[in-house]
């Protein structure tokens, strides 16, 4: 016979896991993407940043696609490495929103940056996912006096992300 508290706790963990959804979308062909490994990394990273927010989408795209998004949403006519698009809950969803939004990564740009910085492609993408997820959690390195950078460095160490 099991203790009632244990059963309730196990049920809560199953429900939380069911609510967590990490979606990986690959919209490019330049590099092979392992959906399962990026789902695992993103899940682990989200838990380290903010366990209450457990769902996000990671989208891998080409330079041309991210340039178009950067121009459309930021007014910058250039490719970038990562963009974050926070999910804005509707008024009737207040307090129930667990999906943070989307992190869009240029795979070609990530590969170039990895090479330039003496990193593996995997390490570069890990750093970009972490950076994007921090933005989705409200951090902004352009306005926060280094708070996001400090948090990013702390989480890189915690998650074992190598940086040159």
pLDDT at 99 over 90: no
Domain spans, the chain:
20-159
Residue with tokens 């593996």: 120
Which CATH number does 20-159 carry? 3.40.390.30
Cut 0.75: pTM above it: yes
Count Cβ neighbours within 10 Å for each residue of 107-127 and write b for 16 or more, e otherwise.
Answer: bbbbeebbeeeebeebbbbbb
In this structure, of 108-117, 122-131, 136-145, the range with the lowest mean pLDDT score is 136-145
Report pLDDT digits (tens) over 19-76: 568 999 999 998 999 999 999 999 999 999 988 777 999 999 999 999 999 999 999 9
Percent of the chain with pLDDT over 70: 80
Report pLDDT digits (tens) over 81-90: 999 999 876 6
User: CA angle, corner 95, sides to 57 and 74, nearest 5?
Assistant: 45
Tokens of 118: 């003496």
Question: CB neighbours of 102 closer than 8 A, spacing ≥ 6?
Answer: 56, 57, 58, 59, 84, 85, 87
Mean pLDDT value across the chain = 86
* 73 backbone φψ class: left, alpha, beta (φ>0; ψ -120 to 50): alpha
């Amino acid at each position: 016979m099991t203790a009632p508290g244990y059963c309730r706790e196990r049920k809560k963990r199953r429900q939380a896991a069911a609510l967590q959804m990490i979606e990986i979308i690959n919209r490019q062909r330049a590099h092979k993407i392992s959906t399962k490994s990026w789902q695992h990394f993103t899940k682990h990273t989200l838990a380290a940043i903010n366990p209450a927010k457990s769902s996000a989408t990671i989208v891998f795209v080409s330079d041309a696609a991210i340039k178009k998004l950067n121009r459309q949403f930021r007014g910058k006519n250039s490719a970038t490495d990562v963009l974050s698009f926070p999910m804005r809950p509707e008024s009737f969803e207040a307090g129930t929103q667990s999906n943070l939004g989307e992190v869009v990564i240029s795979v070609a740009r990530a590969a170039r940056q990895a090479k330039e910085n003496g990193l593996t492609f995997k390490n570069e993408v890990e750093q970009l996912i972490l950076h994007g997820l921090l933005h989705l959690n409200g951090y902004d390195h352009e306005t926060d006096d280094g708070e996001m950078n400090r948090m990013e460095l702390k989480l890189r160490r915690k998650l074992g992300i190598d940086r040159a």
